[in-house]
A = this chain, B = another copy of it.
């Protein structure tokens, strides 16, 4: 193993792939750059890691600056390290994806950064390797959402089954059978009825549900038990 290097520098950036859901479509929060380099083009929101800053903390900081959200759902996706990915200087970038409820952010902060919600299907080309980052993040979101009900991060606190179904349909770009979807979700017991009905609906008003935090924890533990001896390792 080599000793610690004496010269040269490689910058470390963090870029955020921010997913939102408006009830119909999966959207991305993108910024139209009003700064160099690549002024005027679309990109993800990003920044450089500070010398005395945790990687995760940097992602939280960047997301907070853009949206005003303090406790985002945030997961590291992948680190992108091609030599010429940033033409200005050698930079590797750690991608984080976030799921946020689309009406939660601070609109002033968004405007400050020239940020907009763009439907995934309408996504413009992004600078550098940001298109690839979105691809990888979407793939990871899909894998993860297939196993864990993280999709709830994209919905308001209470929601109807049809709303939840539309979210899954948007994530996977498929159409699901309403009745089978309902049966499967309710069988997990992670939802509890609020007893109220969705006032916004124009026809029959659906039941509003919320996530039952305890049952949700049980559900996740059930998954861990598929990997029974993970603890034995430590």
Interface residues of A (CB under 8 A from B): 1-2, 4-5, 8-12, 33, 35, 45-56, 58, 76, 78-83, 88-90, 92, 94, 120-121, 123, 131, 134-135, 138-139, 142-143, 172-174, 226-230, 232-234
Contacts and interface: CB of A to CB of B under 8 A. Distances in A.
Contacts of A143: 143
Given A79-B76, A123-B233, A173-B232, A46 B227 contact: no
A233 B137 CA distance: 12
A53 B83 contact: yes
A103 to B, nearest CB: 24
Given A35-B1, A78-B76, A173 B229 contact: yes
Contacts of A79: 55, 76, 79, 94
Given A4-B11, A53-B83, 20 more contacts: A1-B46, A4-B88, A9-B9, A10-B51, A12-B92, A51-B90, A52-B83, A55-B80, A55-B81, A55-B82, A81-B94, A92-B94, A120-B233, A135-B230, A138-B230, A138-B233, A172-B228, A173-B228, A173-B229, A174-B228
A212 to B, nearest CB: 25
Number of copies of this kind of chain in the complex = 2
A210 to B, nearest CB: 29
A128 B160 CA distance: 47
- Closest 5 A/B residue pairs (Cβ): A55-B81, A8-B51, A173-B229, A79-B79, A10-B12
A48 B6 CA distance: 11
